[in-house]
């Protein structure tokens, strides 16, 4: 963004992201404690975070509890579900172990 808008401040970017999140246009995700992530898909869905390369992938899967809107008498307002592991691309880069 700095190449296009050299005077754009970091605070303006984060304030805009926060506003878009409050308006429901994007999702703010807490995947790791290192930094906030933002997802342009505001619809409910899960994520997969690769611990090796840091990629964050959208996972389309159903969750009957979340879809019901209720859990044990409590009203669900938002759901964030994230699977953690090693993505398929990183797994392909691993040297294949020799089988004995």
CATH code for position 86: 3.30.1490.190
Report pLDDT for 97. 52
2 in any annotated domain: no
- Indicate the burial class of 53 (C-beta count within 10 angstroms; 0-12, 13-18, 19 or more): exposed
> Range of 25's domain?
10-93
- Indicate the burial class of 21 (C-beta count within 10 angstroms; 0-12, 13-18, 19 or more): middle
Tens of pLDDT, residue by residue over 51-66, are 999 999 999 888 888 8
99 in any annotated domain: no
Report pLDDT for 100. 38
**How many structural domains are present in the chain?**
1
Closest CA to 62 of 82, 74, 45: 45
What is the rounded end-to-end Cα distance, in angstroms, of the chain? 52
18 in any annotated domain: yes
3 in any annotated domain: no
- Only one residue has tokens 């246009």, namely 25
Give the chain's residues under pLDDT 70. 96-100
């Amino acid at each position: 963004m700095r190449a296009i808008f050299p005077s754009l401040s970091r605070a303006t970017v984060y304030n805009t992201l926060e506003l878009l999140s409050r308006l429901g246009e994007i999702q703010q995700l807490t995947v790791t404690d290192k930094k906030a992530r933002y997802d342009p898909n505001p619809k409910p869905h899960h994520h997969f975070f690769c611990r090796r390369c840091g990629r964050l992938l959208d996972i389309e899967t159903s969750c009957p509890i979340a879809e019901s809107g209720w859990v044990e008498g409590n009203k669900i307002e938002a759901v964030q579900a994230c699977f953690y592991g090693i993505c398929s691309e990183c797994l392909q880069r691993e040297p294949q172990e020799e089988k004995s």
